[in-house]
Structure 1
């Protein structure tokens, strides 16, 4: 005879209900959702399924949860098969959770809905995904004062690099290994493409702006930002794990491109400012921001309306940030103000369009993460330029913290749950 906790023959058992609630959390965690929102979604699903409570601990790679029903409890550990970033999965899973009734849902309905979401696959083909990375990095190259030849080289190198990265991602290879392979391929191709123009004297030596920009598609913006947001919520196990992962990926990519530059005998130098008039540079930077964020949103598998919304928000915020820095305000304070604006705008859009707030805010902020300074600081450190590398790395860390804390302040200002010490149950 099946027991009350057996999944066999008992559709509404404690086991089946807890499995369904945990499956929702697994989908969101696999798509890159911050741990607090994963807990909220599982708790809401558990209530809809009739469970008395559902308490969980969410890290970057697994979920430990205890469900209770009529005085009985069950604890289980859930691990997604693959953790990455998939905004479409986040969007559709959250929309389904929001549509659940307060009571009366069945585990079968939950599993069926999740199966439909998983069956969708990627919204964009591999060529579109790769080209989006190339376009995004080319936009970054312009923001880093790269010239036209360098921008075109970045477009080609980053497109090929993302295509290679995507092949190994779909095979579920180790993330660090995939990052190293993609960084080596991208950096090598970039140096090969710009080699002839550099020899002919068409561009200056070093090409640091374009060289560093070509690998910026490898910057782990989602885990970096959500990791700090987790820490703000006191989810230390998830936050530290995400930040450790982000640091590992950044170091792997930086070490790879530095090794390529040393092997090729390239001495990198800061890019020469383009010297554009302010009246022309401001709209061009706004356009580059829109294109760059749109490209990254496509890499994150964002539905088109979410990608355009994130790009629009970032264009306004990053233009404000540029105006503030041109006015003499430190880049850290300018970034803080810009990301507060992003966070508030993401809250408004999320309420109106019923999309995950993180799907707007994180892609919009990724363009402000100083990947150029991170990689340059690492390269200078290995070259023995200690003072310059420390200044660059300090600025990079402070800017990342300012970006994340800006989003955190926006959350605290707009979400009552964030202002209280409360864990979903």
Structure 2
């Protein structure tokens, strides 16, 4: 059986936790993070990998015979990006097929970059999606175009706030405020007979569906701390969105949707 020096095992541990942190930061569910870490550890030559997850950090231990190495890394919140998770999975699969040295694995992980769509394409598609939902709910054409305008501008505002690294809760609240202000145009001079649909559909881009889904999956699969953490984060984002909507409605003296 091949033995590892403490320095070699330390490098392996750092590579594995680098992959785990990338997956956690960009939205992978906990079970997938644990499975990928264990597969990478086996492919790199350790006996087992033990991992502990919380929403803001990872503690990981690799075991080789009687030798163990433990390290901790903080995970920072980043926008959900499944391309990053897929890239880490690809590295793991290639590592299982071909025994790459740990230095090469670490370099591959460092070279991973998010594949972002063109920002104007995102603005257009988000606006079109919200407007289409409004149309499916029975909105008339003025409400359709106002929803498109409101949600497109809101998405642009959200992108700018993210670029300037605003707190996520503040970003959601301000985006909801802007979307509701613009959507209220549908109530001016009776432009639309379905103004309530425009108001509600223009903020759909702020629904935190992915965190809610991940929280449910984590809780069902036994990762209760991760499940509660992600659920609370999604709930706070929903609350921030609601506050932005309520603030805009109070300024405009709108009674409700």
TM-score by length of 2: 0.91
How far 1:95 moved relative to its partner? 2.0
User: In the aligned structure 2, how far is the partner of 1:194 from the partner of 1:50?
Assistant: 63
Q: Mark the CA change 1:14 to 1:171 in structure 2 (over 3 Å): closer, same or farther.
A: farther
Output aligned runs, 1:223-262, within 5 Å.
223-262=211-250
Correspondence for 1:22: 17
Distance 2:163 2:38 in 1: 31
1:179 aligns with 2:179: no
SS of match in other structure, 1:117? coil
SS at match of 1:39: helix
Quick check: 2:140–2:193 contact (8 Å CA) kept in 1? no
Q: Does 1:96 align with 2:85?
A: no
Aligned-residue RMSD, C-alpha: 1.9
> With structure 1 as the length reference, what TM-score do the two structures score?
0.57
* Residues 269-306 of structure 1: CA deviation (Å, up to 9, x unaligned): 4xxxxxxxxxxxxxxxxxxxxxxxxxxxxxxxxxxxxx
4+ runs of 1 displaced by more than 6 Å?
none
Matched with 1:134 is: 127
Give a deviation string over 1:111-160, Cα, whole Å, max 9, x none: 22222322xx3331221122222122112222333222112111111111
Q: How many residues align?
A: 254
State the alpha-carbon separation in 2 of the partners of residues 103 and 69 from structure 1: 21
Show the 5 A alignment for 1:36-115: 36-101=31-96, 104-115=99-110
Q: How does 1:382-393 map onto structure 2 within 5 Å?
A: none
Alignment of 1:12-411 (within 5 A): 13-101=8-96, 104-118=99-113, 121-191=114-184, 193-195=185-187, 198-199=188-189, 201-204=190-193, 207-269=195-257
CA distance in 2, matches of 1:259, 1:236: 34
In the alignment, the residues of structure 1 paired with residue 247 and residue 136 of structure 2 have an alpha-carbon distance, to the nearest angstrom, of: 25
1:322-381 CA-partner distances (Å, limit 9, x unpaired)? xxxxxxxxxxxxxxxxxxxxxxxxxxxxxxxxxxxxxxxxxxxxxxxxxxxxxxxxxxxx
Cα distance in 1 for partners of 2:84, 2:164 equals 19
Unmatched segments (≥5 aa) in structure 1: 7-12, 270-425
